[in-house]
Amino acid sequence: MIRILYFGVLRDRVGRDSEELAWNGGSTDALLQHLRDRGPQWAEALAPGQVFRMAVNRQMAYGEVPVPDGAEVGILPPVTGG
């Protein structure tokens, strides 16, 4: 089981701020594909051309990294501010 946290506009686009997901291990790429396969809303929000970052256990994930069972995964849109 992993915990996924959605932030900012992604939270609004997917309609939730977090969830628990049964997970047998895999990579960030595999997780994204699993989420995209949920349907058009998910596929659009997490499409390869969209700008967002992922963190696994509070460490920024650059490229494809392992997502072990028990992990906390954050999916973050770009941050704006002044």
Domain layout of the chain by residue ranges: 2-76
pLDDT tens per residue, the chain (82 residues)? 999 999 998 999 999 999 999 998 899 999 999 999 999 999 999 998 888 999 999 999 998 999 999 999 999 988 755 5
Judge whether 60 and 53 are in contact, CB under 8 Å.
Answer: yes
User: For the segment 32-47, what is each residue's pLDDT rounded down to a tens digit?
Assistant: 999 999 999 999 999 9
Of 26, 24, 22, 19, nearest in space to 4 by CA: 19
**CATH class, 2-76 region:** alpha beta
pTM over cut 0.95: no
Query: Residue 56, Cβ neighbours under 10 Å: how many?
Result: 19
